[in-house]
Amino acid sequence: MTVIAQIRKAAQALRPDPDFAAALACRWAGLPETARTPGQVLGRHAVGCEGTHGVFPQCNLACTPCYHSRDANQVRVDGPHTLAQITAQMALLREQRGPRAHAQLIGGEVSLLDPDDHAAALQVMRDHGREPMSFTHGDFGYDYLERLVLGPDGRPRLRRVSFAAHFDSLMFGRRGLARAPDEASLNPYRARFAAMFARLRREHKVRYFLAHNMTVTPANLGQVAAVVRDCRGMGYGMFSFQPAAFVGDERRWHEDYQQVTGDQVWAQIERGAGATLDYRVFEHGDVRCNRAAYGFWAGDRWYPLLDGADPRDLAVRDAFFRYLGPVSFTGSPAPALAGQLTLITARHPQILLLAAGWAARTARRVGLRRLATHRAHLVSYVMHQFMDAADVQPAWELMQRGQTSADPRVRATQERLAACHYAMAHPENGTLVPACVQHSVLDPDENAALRTLLPIPQVPRRQAAEPVPDGRAAR
């Protein structure tokens, strides 16, 4: 490579990726009017999240409810199948959604994958410009985690990992606590899971990000606030709560999930945080599906990064979208990111004034004494509200025909699907579908086909022994 070519390459690295900027513009253009709000992140800073499907649907815990179809646990975990499917799905996502996105390695239970296959899957996702997050029930040990991140030479092959761990009292079969009587009884398991990653960083210098997931039904709604309060310092950077929906295996629908509303769940999160969580400052798709609040704990109090009631903070948000929206903070090497931010700030020095004003206001809200005596740590709160299969199926069928329903309930479902934050790829026909469509419409047939493609070997039943001449059973 010539010196001029090297200079050009370095200069390009110091500019936001034009392909990512183009992907953002395309995403914004595709949003329905109901989602084009001042706080909308899609199309301004992200194209949305992505997830895998049909790669390892089996799980070794039981949940009420379970979003997987009834055939999911009849499909064997197969490394070559997983890697082939992830490669094809990530290629389509990169083609249609651009060079940068967060993607979830999700299906059944990710720790059922061989650690080498798991590591290879994460690398495939990164090779396609995705920042991967592995989804788990958290019921595995430190030995699995080490085998995942360390290569055959004993040195780290993964420098950073992200995991989302699902803990709630609606899950059955966890080692040491097969049937949790309440959410509080799971706190030692939540803490133990997070502690494994702290140990991983100490011993192998592997960075990590942890999210905590929890399904909410009438049975545990009143315990959400305690989970928020009791687990805030365990090491999770995000807590996500999902009100249950009538999706997946109907044999595990044991409650009237419609008794739990998004407002009720959000009120419980606010109660646990001891603060109002303004989910309109930053929006991810349709707020009927997703709510998010970004902030930090300082001691026993949670503070928002931006106060939605302060116009000056909203001006900071708008400037972020305007000047830094196309910058990929998670997908860029640190030197390149620093260079991009330096050049953008040099071109728009008002960024420094806005940042200084925000820092001063935040310090006043928290208090200098509290900031000096308590280490602040970032923790965001999220709620994802899936839709019932009975609503998704007719809405999707009409959307496939290009029709808008006259029924207000179905039309609202269509609006939510059109603004979906969470896409899954189908390389066999070149389409992307919302996660609710995947789980409600496509999973049953897909898992039935996988059951034939990847059957679980059947152990033949032991035949009754033939009697020996003296009438005793053969041994």
* Burial call 211-221: b when 16+ CB within 10 Å, e when fewer: bbbbbbbebbb
Please name the amino acid found at residue 284.
H
CB 422 within 8 A of CB 48: yes
Handedness of CA 401, 407, 410, 413 (dihedral sign): positive
Whole-angstrom CA distances from 310 to 102, 358, 365 are 30, 11, 12
| Cα radius of gyration (the chain) | 24
Mean pLDDT along residues 145-162: 97
Mean pLDDT along residues 144-154: 97
Please give the DSSP secondary-structure letter assigned to residue 15. S
Antiparallel, parallel or unpaired: β 207-216 and 130-136: unpaired
Q: What is the pLDDT of residue 73?
A: 92
Whole-angstrom CA distances from 45 to 96, 281, 353, 433 are 16, 14, 21, 21
| Rounded Cα gap, residues 49 and 174, in angstroms | 28
| Rounded Cα gap, residues 343 and 329, in angstroms | 15
Mean pLDDT along residues 413-437: 97
Q: Which residue has the higher pLDDT, 431 or 1?
A: 431
pLDDT at 461 over 90: no
Please name the amino acid found at residue 458.
Q
> Which pair of tokens denotes residue 19?
């392909």
pLDDT at 81 over 90: yes
pLDDT at 28 over 90: yes
| Rounded Cα gap, residues 223 and 291, in angstroms | 19
Mean pLDDT along residues 169-187: 97
pLDDT at 473 over 50: no
> Which pair of tokens denotes residue 396?
């999707």
Looking at every residue in the chain, the average pLDDT score rounds to 92
Q: What is the pLDDT of residue 74?
A: 93
Helix residue ranges, H only, 219-333: 224-230, 262-273, 311-319
- Please give the backbone phi and psi of residue 426, each rounded to the nearest 5 degrees, phi first: -125, 90
Tell me the whole-structure pTM to 2 decimals: 0.92
**Sheet with 171-174, side-by-side order of all strands:** 62-63, 171-174, 177-179
Q: What is the pLDDT of residue 467?
A: 43
Q: What is the pLDDT of residue 330?
A: 77
Q: What is the pLDDT of residue 4?
A: 58
pLDDT at 472 over 50: no
| Rounded Cα gap, residues 392 and 383, in angstroms | 19
Mean pLDDT along residues 365-389: 95
CB 278 within 8 A of CB 289: no
Domain 40-299+374-388 falls under CATH 3.20.20.70 = yes
For the chain, percent of residues with pLDDT exceeding 90: 85
Least confident of 3-12, 32-41, 77-86: 3-12
